[in-house]
Copies of this chain bind each other. A is one copy, B any other.
Amino acid sequence: MTHTEEHLKSSAFITDIVIGMSDGLTVPFALAAGLSGAVTDNTIIITAGIAEIVAGCIAMGLGGYLAGRTELEHYESELNREYAEVETVPEKELQEVKEVFAEYGIDDAGQTLLANQLAKDKKKWVDFMMKFELGLEEPHPDRARNSALTIGGAYFVGGLLPLTAYIFTDTPIHGLITSACITTLCLFVFGYFKSKITGQHPVTGALKVTSIGLIAAAAAYLVATGFDRMFS
């Protein structure tokens, strides 16, 4: 049991890093690329990039925190409802247990036997209903907070990497070229390890992740330069 929970916990952590880092490496890079075709000063690009990173961090982190809290509250309210139903309408709940098994071709005698054995322990009965009828797993109580910090932090780190290029170059176009090189490398390495962890082919996965970043940057560049030419 302890081992399984450790495993789940580390998966959630890695999932959060992947969520934050995917967007962090892609969106600020693409925004900076877009602006590179439309402005003449690196300072504006860095300012916009930093504003985006701060906004994205808070939106994703705080959004993740609230989503996690909601999930926990939802689980707890359903849990209380199941406990109440087991107390007040036990025969209805027993019928629901039977229906879960009926779906898998268990016959009447088998269903009754199971329902009666489950009903002996209310905690296990309710746990069974939560998982098998409602498909809900108990969220870790610290999940919301940890998730917010991990996603926000990964977005921050991922977003700063492409921006550094604009600090060490003098013109947007040099910044863009350097930034594209740094980010392509980062996206590939990130995509490689992400795919390894999620059990996909690492090189194919790395190419997919890198493509999303480059497509987003190319589209942002085309739209921003097009818009700039129309209105400036």
Contact = CB atoms under 8 A, between A and B. Distances in A.
Contacts of A219: 54-55, 58
A141 interface: no
A200 B135 CA distance: 19
Interface residues of A, number: 70
Nearest to A106: B117
Contacts of A26: 55, 58-59, 63
Could you tell me the dominant secondary structure of chain A's interface residues?
helix
Contacts of A220: 51-52, 54-55, 58
A82 interface: no
A38 B48 CA distance: 9
Contacts of A103: 124
Nearest to A25: B59
A224 B221 CA distance: 22
Contacts of A46: 227, 231
17 contacts: A22-B63, A27-B59, A30-B59, A31-B31, A34-B51, A34-B52, A35-B47, A38-B47, A43-B228, A55-B216, A55-B217, A59-B212, A62-B216, A105-B117, A105-B118, A105-B121, A107-B117
